[in-house]
Each structure stands twice: as structure tokens, then as C-alpha cells.
């Protein structure tokens, strides 16, 4: 049985071409990348695709990794950039963010893959997917991934003040979006009896 | 609710407020039940977010990534082999063509009495009809 390696040893082994070490790396960072990607894109096959792409890009860019940030931050940055590209691509394909809040929620509530999640997770997803990406990004990094405001600012290459104001505005908007659902008490069990 | 106080409330979750700001926020919280309710809502929302959306792509995710990586590597190796073969094949034709062209140019240069591109390429006064009469056509 293999013992768990620290990041430095893992990276060294991956650079030496050890595929098992890369698999171990994926297993170690899957939950972090999943939280970021699913937070940004919502659950579903597109999110998994971006998750896979994140690790593949990381693998290919590893020789250029200088260790200026932690490996986790580096992977998150790749994931966030891929998510933002995907959101831009989606935006070109179809406009999800229509002006009416109810329509936005409907659009997300009927996305495949949201049926079997627990209530709070569904509620979070509903709200997040209706948020403008610039607010969604800071909320995902700061409140879901648990990065500090400074780390969030560094990942997004934004001033800390901007991160703080987007965070506040994002939370306010999220509250507004979720308000009708809070009021109903059984907000998302629309398909129930 | 005053916007400034609300901003202060949100900031209080993120960073340490100055003593003056802290005192002002506490006073406002004492006075306003609406602000207290807002604070609770923010707390609840942050808790919900920290529990987060799903944090897994499902079982055997690592295997799927490894499979995709292997497929991509095999694919790129296949394309690489194809391009190398193509390049090798065309390199021979290209060299042969270049040698033939050089020979033709030198021959034309020897026949002609002046050094111009028209003479070199044997295209000085040739009309369409003359070209058609050449054995090549």
C-alpha cells in the first residue's frame, strides 16, 4: 500500500513521469476542484468535463509551475479560468441570465442533474447559477473554497477592495434571488406532491 | 436600513473593523431589529455556502481523468507520427523539385543572352499560342 505523499514529493514524482502519483494528486484535489467548478457551473456533465480538463491542463503545465503559490491555488486558478471561459461560451450560445428573476430560477431548477441533491445544496446552486459570474467567482472562492480575501484577490488578479465589495454585493444579490424561495418554505420541491 | 451600516455589517464578516466602526455597528444592531435579522440571514447564507454545492464528481473520477489523458497522449502521438511521415515524404519531392528547377534555370540562363527573370523562366515573348505549340502541351 502506498503512503500519502506531500505536495512537493507528489509534484516531483509526477514530473518524473509517475502516473500513480498523478492519480493520487487528482484524488487529493478532486473535492476542491469539484467545489469550485460545480459552484461556478452547477452540477452536470459540463462541470465534470471542466473538472477533468483542469487536471489535464495542470499536468501539461506542471513543468512551468514555479511554486510561487501553493499547488491548490494553482489548480484553482486553472479551474476558475476554464469555468469563466465556459460561461462566456455558454453566454454566446444562449442567454441564461434573463432579466426576470423567476425565469432565471426556473431555468436553473430544470437543469438536469439538480434533482437528487439535498435541499440546501440545491438552494445554493440555484442562487449561485443565477448570479452574475463576477459576483459568483468571489463567492465561490471566498465562501465555498474558503480562500481568504487576499488569496481570492491574488487568484483573480483583482485589488482586495474590489473583492470585498463584490463579495458584499454578491451576497446581497444572492439573498434577493433566494428570497422568493425562502418565503415559500418548500422552495424547490416544485415537482413534489 | 442605511446603506452605510449594511456595508459595515458585511465588512464585519470579512475583516476587523476599527474601534469606531465596531461601536457604530453595535449601536445600530442594538437599535434595529431589522439589522439584527439581516445579520442572522447573512450568517445563515454563509453557512449554507460553506457547506457548499457537491464536492465530488462521482466515483472513479481520477480513473476517468487518467483515461482521458492517456487517450489524448495516444492521439497526439498518432498525429505526430502522421505529420512526420508526411513531412519525410514531401521533403524528398521538394528536394527533387528544387534540383529540377535549378537545372532548368541554369539551362535557360546559358541559352539566354541577358540576365532577367523572363529569360531565366523562358517567358520572354512567348504568347499563349506559342506555348500551346510546345511539345509539353
pLDDT tens per residue across span B35-68: 999 999 899 888 888 887 778 898 999 999 999 9
Whether the predicted pLDDT of B14 surpasses 70: yes
Percent of chain A surpassing pLDDT 70: 76
Minimum-distance CB partner of B49 among A19, A47, A124: A124
Chain B interface disruption, residue of A56, A61, A150, most B CBs within 10 A: A56
Q: Is A168:B45 a contact under the CB 8 Å cutoff? A: no
SS3 state at B17:
coil
Min Cα distance A15 → chain B (Å) is 15
Residue carrying C-alpha cell 498525429: B79
Chain B residue closest in CA terms to A121: B53
C-alpha cell at A77: 486558478
Whether the predicted pLDDT of A170 surpasses 80: yes
Whether the predicted pLDDT of A44 surpasses 70: yes
Q: What DSSP letter does each residue of B30-64 carry, written as one string?
A: HH-HHHHHHHHHHHHHHHHHHH-S-----TTHHHH
pLDDT band at residue B71, thresholds of 50, 70 and 90? confident
Percent of chain B surpassing pLDDT 70: 77
Residues A68, A45: Cα–Cα separation, whole Å: 32
Whether the predicted pLDDT of A134 surpasses 50: yes
Min Cα distance B118 → chain A (Å) is 53
Q: In the prediction, which pLDDT does B77 show?
A: 62
Residues B5, B9: Cα–Cα separation, whole Å: 6
Comparing A99-103, B8-12, B110-114, the range with the smallest average pLDDT is A99-103
C-alpha cell at B105: 534555370
Interface contact B51-A168, CB threshold 8 A: no
Q: In the prediction, which pLDDT does A92 show?
A: 65
Top pLDDT among B108 and A70 is at: A70
- Domains, chain A, in order of start with CATH, read 1-92 (1.10.1740.10), 95-183 (1.10.10.10)
Chain A interface disruption, residue of B43, B57, B66, B72, most A CBs within 10 A: B57
pLDDT band at residue B70, thresholds of 50, 70 and 90? confident
Q: In the prediction, which pLDDT does B47 show?
A: 87
C-alpha cell at A54: 483542469
* Three-state SS sequence of chain A: CCCCCCHHHHHHHHHCCCHHHHHHHHHHHHHHHHHHHHHHHCCCHHHHHHHHHHHHHHHHHHHHCCCCCCHHHHHHHHHHHHHHHHHHHHHHHCCCCCCCHHHHHHHHHCCCCCCCCCHHHHHHHHHHHHCCHHHHHHHHHHHHCCCCHHHHHHHHCCCHHHHHHHHHHHHHHHHHHHHHHHHHCCCCHHHCC
Mean pLDDT rounded to a whole number for chain B: 81
Entry pTM? 0.69
Q: In the prediction, which pLDDT does A54 show?
A: 96
Q: In the prediction, which pLDDT does A64 show?
A: 84
Interface contact A121-B51, CB threshold 8 A: yes
A47 chain-B contacts, CB cut-off 8 A:
57
B124 secondary structure, DSSP code: S
Q: In the prediction, which pLDDT does A75 show?
A: 95
C-alpha cell at B97: 523539385
Top pLDDT among B114 and B83 is at: B83
Domain ranges of chain B: 3-51, 77-132
Closest CA to A58 of A37, A76, A41: A76
Amino acid at each position: 500500500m502506498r503512503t500519502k505523499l506531500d505536495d512537493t514529493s507528489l509534484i516531483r514524482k509526477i514530473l518524473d513521469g509517475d502516473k500513480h502519483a498523478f492519480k493520487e494528486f487528482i484524488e487529493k484535489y478532486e473535492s476542491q476542484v469539484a467545489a469550485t467548478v460545480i459552484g461556478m457551473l452547477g452540477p452536470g456533465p459540463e462541470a465534470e468535463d471542466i473538472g477533468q480538463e483542469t487536471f489535464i491542463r495542470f499536468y501539461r503545465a506542471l513543468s512551468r509551475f514555479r511554486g510561487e503559490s501553493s499547488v491548490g491555488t494553482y489548480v484553482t486558478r486553472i479551474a476558475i479560468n476554464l469555468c469563466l471561459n465556459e460561461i462566456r461560451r455558454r453566454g454566446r450560445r444562449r442567454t441564461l441570465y434573463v432579466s426576470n428573476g423567476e425565469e432565471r430560477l426556473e431555468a436553473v431548477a430544470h437543469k438536469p442533474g439538480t434533482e437528487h441533491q439535498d435541499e440546501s445544496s440545491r438552494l445554493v446552486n440555484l442562487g449561485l447559477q443565477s448570479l452574475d459570474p463576477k459576483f459568483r467567482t468571489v463567492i465561490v472562492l471566498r465562501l465555498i473554497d474558503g480562500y481568504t480575501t487576499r488569496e481570492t484577490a491574488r487568484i483573480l488578479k483583482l485589488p482586495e477592495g474590489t473583492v470585498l465589495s463584490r463579495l458584499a454585493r454578491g451576497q446581497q444579490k444572492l439573498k434577493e434571488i433566494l428570497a422568493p424561495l425562502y418565503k415559500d418554505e418548500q422552495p424547490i420541491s416544485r415537482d413534489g406532491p | 436600513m442605511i446603506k452605510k451600516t449594511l456595508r459595515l455589517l458585511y465588512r464585519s464578516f470579512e475583516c476587523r473593523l476599527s474601534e469606531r466602526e465596531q461601536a457604530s455597528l453595535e449601536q445600530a444592531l442594538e437599535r434595529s431589529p431589522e439589522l439584527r435579522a439581516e445579520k442572522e440571514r447573512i450568517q445563515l447564507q454563509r453557512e449554507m455556502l460553506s457547506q457548499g454545492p457537491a464536492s465530488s464528481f462521482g466515483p472513479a473520477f481520477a480513473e476517468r481523468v487518467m483515461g482521458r489523458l492517456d487517450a489524448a497522449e495516444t492521439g497526439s502521438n498518432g498525429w505526430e507520427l502522421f505529420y512526420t511521415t508526411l513531412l519525410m515524404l514531401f521533403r524528398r519531392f521538394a528536394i527533387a523539385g528544387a534540383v529540377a528547377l535549378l537545372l532548368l534555370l541554369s539551362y535557360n540562363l546559358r541559352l539566354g543572352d541577358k540576365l532577367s527573370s523572363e529569360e531565366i523562366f523562358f517567358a520572354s515573348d512567348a504568347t499563349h499560342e506559342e506555348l500551346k505549340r510546345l511539345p509539353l502541351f
